[in-house]
A = this chain, B = another copy of it.
Amino acid sequence: MLSKKTKYGIKALTYLARQENRTPVQIATISKSENISLKFLESILLTLRKNDFLGSKKGKGGGYYILKEPKDIQMAAVMRILEGPISMIPCVSLNFYEKCEDCPDENACAVHKLMAQVRDSSLEIFKNTTLADLCNC
């Protein structure tokens, strides 16, 4: 299941991508427009800022704005920051690999084999889809 964190994060990114001239938008504005808990959104935007997707401006007239061109923001990167691994199981993860405790040989494991295929196809979509594709800009 996709977490609300990721869902809200993607919605906020598309909202900001649609702004012209990178005008800062206040958290409260996005919160109201997208029906997202203000404080929760605040922490999500903070994460996106720390990972160099967003910039922020303090004080009056401040807010968040997008740093890169939407077409240069791969959804794979967004997913990994907000959601974590793209694969459904750690033993097939490229960026968050972990061995299964119960599984002696992952090359012989049916689950591993299946989930590796799913990861490949999902990853291809996330890599080939940019923020620009999602917000029509």
Chain A residues packing against B (C-beta within 8 Å): 1-2, 7, 10-11, 14, 34-36, 75, 88-89, 101-103, 109-111, 113-115, 117-118, 121-122, 124-126, 129, 134-135
When the two chains form their complex, are residues B125 and A121 in contact, meaning their CB atoms are under 8 A apart? yes
Q: Is the interface of A mostly helix, strand, loop or mixed?
A: helix
Beyond A2-B111, A75-B114, list 16 extra A-B contacts (CB 8 Å): A2-B115, A7-B89, A10-B110, A14-B110, A34-B102, A35-B101, A35-B103, A36-B102, A114-B125, A114-B129, A114-B134, A117-B125, A118-B126, A121-B122, A121-B124, A122-B122
- Evaluate whether A89 and B1 lie within 8 angstroms (CB atoms) in the complex, with A35-B102, A110-B134, A134-B110 already known: yes
**Given A102-B36, A118-B122, also A10-B111 (CB < 8 A):** yes
* Chain B proximity of A129: nearest CB distance (Å): 6
The reply to whether A10 and B125 contact each other, CB–CB distance below 8 Å, is: no
**Closest B residue, CB atoms, query A100:** B7
**What residue of chain B has the Cβ atom nearest to residue A134's Cβ?**
B110
Q: Complex: how many Å from CA A103 to CA B10?
A: 13
A10 to chain B, nearest CB (A): 5
Tell me the smallest distance from the CB of A96 to a CB of chain B, in Å: 11
Minimum CB–CB distance from A27 to chain B (whole Å) comes to 16
